[in-house]
Amino acid sequence: MTPNDLLYAKTHEWVKVDNATKVATIGVSAFAVEALTDLVYIELPAVGKTVKAGEPFGEIESVKAVSDLYSPVTGEVIEVNSGLASDLGVLNEDPYIKGWMIKVRLAEEASLSKLLNAADYEKQCSEEAH
Amino acid sequence: MAYFFNTPEDRQAMLAAIGAESVDELFAMVPAELRLARPLALPAAMTELELTAHMQQLAAANTSASDALCFLGGGSYDHFIPAVVDALSSRGEFYTSYTPYQPEASQGNLQAFFEYQSLICRLTGMEVSNASLYDGGSAVAEAVLMSMHATKRQRRVVVAASVHPEYRRILETYLVNLGTELITVGAPYGTISVDELAKCIDDETACVLVQQPNFFGCLEDVAAIGRAAHERGAMFVVSVDPISLGLLKRPGEYGADIVIAEGQSLGNPMAYGGPYLGIMACREDFARRMPGRIVGQTTDRDGRACMVLTLQTREQHIRREKATSNICTNQGLYALRATIYLSLMGPQGMREAAQLCLQKSHYAANQLTRAARFSAAFDRPYFKEFVVRDADGQVETLLAEAMDQGIMAGAPLGEWYPEWSDCFLVAVTEKRTKDDIDRWANCLTRVNSRREVAHA
Amino acid sequence: MRNTRATQSLFTLSKPGRRGALLPACDVPEQPLESLLPPSALADAPPPLAELAEPDVVRHFTNLSTLNMSVDTHFYPLGSCTMKYNSKRNERLVALPGMADLHPYQREETLQGMLRLLFEMQEMLGEIAGLPVVSLQPAAGAHGEMTALFVAAAYFRDLGQRRTKVLAPDSAHGTNPASAAMAGFDTLSVKSNPDGTVDLNDLSAKLDQDTAVFMITNPNTLGMFDGQIREIARRVHEVGALIYLDGANMNAILGITRPGDFGADMMHFNPHKTFSGPHGGGGPGAGPIAVTERLGGYLPAPLVARDAAGVYRLDYDRPKSIGRVRAFFGNVGVLVRAYCYIRTHGPDGLRRVSEEAVLNANYLLSQVKSFLPVPQGDRCMHEFIASATKVKGERGVSAMDIAKRLLDYGFHAPTVYFPPIVREAMMIEPTETESKETLDAFAEALRTIIEEPAELLHAAPHTTVISRPDEVKAARNPAVRWTDGVTKQ
């Protein structure tokens, strides 16, 4: 059920790039949501902030753990899914559409080449599960 | 030895079950060359009877505030402690338990801490309190670090010179390794100037820290200070005297973002400096940046209301190097004592204690400054402490002679503020009677006249 | 028999007009409030606290206390926390007015008994540590750790060296990396062997000229003494770095071996663990630190000194000192209790503390290992880690399930899920102040629990005042103060 039209980071974030506008939408995968269990809190950056590929852009917490959210791309945050904080259940129900986190105007596209396609990402997840 | 159980027979049976020849064999993991080949060089064991005599002898070599009149303050105060506080907090079920990791077996502590947090919120006018920090001094440093996390500003912190000098020293010690610039705003007339302060705050300032009432007992213009901080996006951190909140405006009403306090006044003995109680409360927005334990309400599997440690992901055991703070142990027993104290005092008790401090300190200042030698160092409104200037500049002799007469008359200011080495800080709590105060004033004044006689 | 009325919230019990403490009337001539304080500084009303009569308060908190497990009431084998008996004599002695009613700014001549006690405490801790210079100022173990790292930072600054890294084993307490971060260091994790000892190859690979400190807990968090410690110290010192010993587990080695003798440069004590200062429902503790002679100058001020005439005084004249980490002298009340504890035991008694603690732990290990595997083997120091992986794999029963069920049998649970390097960890520390009979009963309870139906265990505890709380609900919508009946500001 890993969507084929997205790219994935090894750290479990997904990216969808709109080639016309050069805007990347970012979220986390269903596998990650499941592994984190019982989510309680999310912290996302403000609009206007610059994010860098491979560096944290926010945090997500469950009862017993906290994880950084790593940006798969570099650019400026132009929109944030602000409704997410009050309804984290969306991440369990629909992590790929309604559960998007931030939209970033890409400053470069080189980092996209380091991301995985759906098949490779699924392979990584099945290895991690063991 | 009173606290051991194992008889020689027990030892033999236990070693047999383990499959070891001797207790010594159990230490085989410790290489022989690392073993201490001699007994520790410590004094020999004492029975309870001997220890009691020894401790009584040490105690007798001190002069305590029970033997002498105490007018000392500066963050530790001789307030009254009702017997109920000692009686309840000395229940073994409280003081021999630990952090409520198993909520099902710790609802007593959890509820007490929840009530503590609730009372602290009501006392300070804030929305969230943690379940305590170490003391009022380290709480200052924790609050400043918290403001740096919350604002993501690391470069500058602005502090009033009228904040307790030891608290500022702690802050320096914490910040030096982080490369944060600590700007101190002077208080030449007993309080800081808001204009001077505003000049020091820039767009990279994490917070402004003041104390209310300040170290000299004086009231700062906190509302204006808060506005100046917020104008540049800095957080407003205030250290308060909890007793003063029986009378003074609560920090939540004048815009404080984080409130910290030394909670010793709330039912805890002076005990030569500790353990004390670090109070910290903040606005809801910053709850997830707060250090220390926090107790929250929830329900159990059967739907019953209950309490549990919550927001634990802030803490070191989960977040490790990215934690808000390294704090693990807090001051649970002292938070409990403060909860009991506040429950006994109630709104009226807190108001009356504050009023007594206010009236008695002003009476004391008036009595003493009738003598020409003494004057109030600062012309500012004050709560329960004030600074006295000795025109003769003989603070050390004066305080030593007062002590000879059984009076802890004040704390010399020169150690912290060399420019005021002719001044001393006086605190008057609700425990001091009119007679006590008159004795204190007469004693200091007499030292004065005796000296003049000697000079004649 | 439970009095659920008395344990209602303080705010439910509150009734306007009730008073619990009365104060004397003002006996000095009163001045109008507004002539003393500016109206803008005054609150409109007193703080909205609860209003209760004294008997209300007594009954409320007395009943609350009965909802706790404690060392006075239950066996409390909470690993790493050293929940030993807290002697009553220490409570009485610390409350002597000549100890409790001392103001921190009293003149030194009025404090000679207290300063002597604290001076002797410095000396005694220095002797137990094998590290001569001691600061009693830090308020807790983690605070001591952080203070020592500040000391290390100041030391290297003085040497003109910029060292940026602290190394700590992956089995370390979470406070280690958190303290390092507060001192401005980056933490690098060093791998552990399966028995929790340090992987020397990994250590060497990570040690370099940027390393300031290697933090080690020995005995480690798996209850094993790392016999490689001299070699570890040699390698750490070779690159000019310092060894910090987390003294959480000192209960195993009192008078047996000394950190200073096995290569540590700095350490902290947890007097509330090792020297039985009570845990107080989560503190207060204290975190005195002991260091080598060359680091002594950097300790926070003041220390207590004794002059040639035998007079004790506070020594603030320490130009290289890092400053302060706490106001006033330190958590003196905890130190006084620890002093009483050490004086009660003397040198032979302290050694016996460790012998009995290690004997009890090994005995308990021998009684549970057949049904609750202990991955590290047959021997331990003062505590051991059992793992519930077997029963988890076979029947889905977790360490948490077992811990919760122990409460039904009248035992506090061990520490669970720590250290992180052991799966389904149950960290059991019996301490020396428990009898063979108690240990047998505990082992028997564990044996019974392991055989109980999984559904029963998943739903445990069954006899406590509440069942398992919903932690997700608590964290998602934090309700951290009483809000009923308050007008929103």
Tens digit of each residue's pLDDT (9 = 90 or more) over C377-413: 899 999 999 999 999 999 999 999 999 999 999 999 9
B278 part of a folded domain: yes
Q: Which amino acid is at B298?
A: T
- Residues in chain A with CB shorter than 8 Å from the CB of C475 are 40-41, 61, 63
pLDDT of residue A86: 87
At B121, the pLDDT band (50, 70, 90 cuts) reads very high
The domain boundary, picked from B341, B372, B389, lies at B341
Distance CA C127, CA C255 (A): 9
Q: Provide the 3-class DSSP secondary structure of residue C345.
A: helix
Structural domain harbouring B165: 83-341
Count of other CB atoms within 10 angstroms of residue B393: 13
* B319 at A interface, C-beta within 8 A: yes
User: What is the CATH architecture assignment of C350-474?
Assistant: Alpha-Beta Complex (3.90)
Which stretches of B302-388 are DSSP H helices? 316-319, 332-368
Residues of chain C with CATH 3.90.1150.10: 350-474
Tens digit of each residue's pLDDT (9 = 90 or more) over C111-139: 999 999 999 999 999 999 999 999 999 99
Is the pLDDT reported for residue B161 higher than 50?
yes
pLDDT of residue B1: 60
At A129, the pLDDT band (50, 70, 90 cuts) reads low
- Residues in chain C with CB shorter than 8 Å from the CB of B128 are 478, 480-481
pLDDT of residue C489: 32
Distance CA B451, CA C246 (A): 56
- Closest by Cα among C182, C177, C106 to B170: C182
pLDDT of residue C486: 45
Q: Are C323 and C231 in contact (CB under 8 A)?
A: no
- Residues in chain A with CB shorter than 8 Å from the CB of C423 are none
CA–CA distances in Å: residue A77 to residues A11, A47, A85, A94, A103? 19, 5, 17, 22, 6
- Closest Cα of chain C to A41: distance in Å? 7
Mean pLDDT score, C438-445: 98
Mean pLDDT score, C185-190: 93
Tell me which chain C residue has its CA closest to the CA of residue A40. C476
Residue B353, domain CATH: 3.90.1150.10
CA–CA distances in Å: residue B298 to residues A40, B209, B249, C395, C468? 14, 35, 32, 29, 10
In the numeric block, which tokens belong to residue C226? 């790392």
pLDDT of residue B453: 45
pLDDT of residue C420: 79
Looking from the CA of C289 toward its CB, the CA atoms found within 13 Å total 34
C173 vs C403: which has the higher pLDDT: C403
| Contact (CB<8Å) A61/C475 | yes
* C340 at B interface, C-beta within 8 A: yes
* B8 at C interface, C-beta within 8 A: no
CA–CA distances in Å: residue C257 to residues B119, C81, C286, C343, C383? 47, 21, 22, 19, 17
Mean pLDDT of chain C: 95
Distance CA C137, CA C131 (A): 16
- Both B369 and B318 in a single domain? no
Task: Give CA torsion, residues B210, B273, B444, C315, to 10 deg.
Answer: -100
Distance CA B253, CA B125 (A): 7
Q: Where are the extended beta strands (E) located within A3-128?
A: 7-8, 13-18, 23-28, 39-43, 50-51, 56-62, 66-70, 75-80, 102-106
Tell me which chain B residue has its CA closest to the CA of residue A40. B311
- Both B193 and B288 in a single domain? yes
Distance CA C279, CA B203 (A): 43
Domain ranges of chain A: 7-114
Residues 6+ apart with CB under 8 A from A70: A9, A11, A13, A54, A55, A56, A57
* A59 at C interface, C-beta within 8 A: no
DSSP assignments along B322-344, one per residue:
GSS----S--HHHHHHHHHHHHH
Chains that touch C (3 or more CB pairs under 8 A): A, B
Tell me which chain B residue has its CA closest to the CA of residue A39. B313
Place of tokens 């603690």: C357
- Closest by Cα among B194, B355, B341, B367 to B277: B341
Is the pLDDT reported for residue C487 higher than 60?
no
Assigned fold of A7-114? OB fold (Dihydrolipoamide Acetyltransferase, E2P) (2.40.50)
Sheet strand arrangement including C211-217: C133-135, C289-291, C266-268, C242-246, C211-217, C165-169, C186-190
Q: Does domain C90-343 have CATH number 3.40.640.10?
A: yes
Q: How many helices (H) and strands (E) does chain B have?
A: 14, 15
In the numeric block, which tokens belong to residue A94? 């629909």
Place of tokens 């290390």: C152
- Closest Cα of chain A to B233: distance in Å? 15
Percent of residues, chain B, with pLDDT higher than 70: 96
Tell me which chain B residue has its CA closest to the CA of residue C464. B104
B31 part of a folded domain: no
B interface mutation test: which of A41, A60, A63, A68 has the most B CBs within 10 A? A63
Q: What angle do CA B33, B37, B40 make, to 5 degrees?
A: 130
Mean pLDDT score, B157-168: 98
- Both B294 and B354 in a single domain? no
Lowest mean pLDDT, pick from A97-111, B321-335, C265-279: B321-335
In the numeric block, which tokens belong to residue B176? 């030096």
Q: Would you call the peptide bond into C461 cis, given omega within 30 degrees of 0 as the criterion?
A: yes
- Both B265 and B390 in a single domain? no
pLDDT of residue B456: 38
Tens digit of each residue's pLDDT (9 = 90 or more) over C96-114: 999 999 999 999 999 999 9
Is the pLDDT reported for residue C481 higher than 90?
yes
Mean pLDDT of chain A: 89
Distance CA B164, CA B73 (A): 11
Q: Is B400 exposed, middle or buried (0-12, 13-18, 19+ CB in 10 A)?
A: middle
Tens digit of each residue's pLDDT (9 = 90 or more) over C331-373: 999 999 999 999 999 999 999 999 999 999 999 999 999 999 9
Is the pLDDT reported for residue B402 higher than 60?
yes
Q: Which amino acid is at C15?
A: K
pTM for this predicted structure = 0.95
For A41, the closest of B288, B319, B322 (CB atoms) is B288
Q: Which residues pair with C246 in a beta bridge?
A: C217, C268
B146 part of a folded domain: yes
Residues 6+ apart with CB under 8 A from B407: B68, B69, B71, B439, B440, B443
Mean pLDDT of chain B: 95
Is the pLDDT reported for residue C488 higher than 50?
no
Sort strands B156-160 and B128-129 into parallel, antiparallel or unpaired: unpaired
B interface mutation test: which of C328, C402, C412 has the most B CBs within 10 A? C328
Q: Which amino acid is at C289?
A: I
- Closest Cα of chain A to B322: distance in Å? 10
Tens digit of each residue's pLDDT (9 = 90 or more) over C285-321: 999 999 999 999 999 999 999 999 999 999 999 999 9
- Closest Cα of chain C to A93: distance in Å? 17
pLDDT of residue B454: 46
Tell me which chain B residue has its CA closest to the CA of residue A66. B313
Tell me which chain B residue has its CA closest to the CA of residue C468. B300
B interface mutation test: which of A37, A44, A66, A69 has the most B CBs within 10 A? A66
* A61 at C interface, C-beta within 8 A: yes
Q: Are C103 and B408 in contact (CB under 8 A)?
A: yes
pLDDT of residue C195: 81
Q: Which residues pair with C289 in a beta bridge?
A: C135, C268
Is the pLDDT reported for residue B322 higher than 80?
no
Residue B105, domain CATH: 3.40.640.10
Residues 6+ apart with CB under 8 A from B310: B294, B295, B296, B298, C471, C474, C475, C478, C480
For B42, the closest of C140, C342, C480 (CB atoms) is C342
| Contact (CB<8Å) C472/A40 | yes
ipTM: 0.97
- Residues in chain A with CB shorter than 8 Å from the CB of B288 are 41, 43
Cβ contacts from B onto C, under 8 A = 697
- What is the tally of structural domains in chain B? 2
Provide the greatest CA pair distance for chain A. 41
Mean pLDDT score, C72-90: 96
C421 vs B64: which has the higher pLDDT: B64
Lowest mean pLDDT, pick from A18-22, B54-58, B101-105, B414-418: A18-22
* A41 at B interface, C-beta within 8 A: yes
* B42 at C interface, C-beta within 8 A: yes
- Residues in chain A with CB shorter than 8 Å from the CB of C418 are none
- Both B305 and B395 in a single domain? no
Q: Are C398 and C426 in contact (CB under 8 A)?
A: no
* C200 at B interface, C-beta within 8 A: no
- Residues in chain C with CB shorter than 8 Å from the CB of B312 are 475
In the numeric block, which tokens belong to residue C203? 């250590």
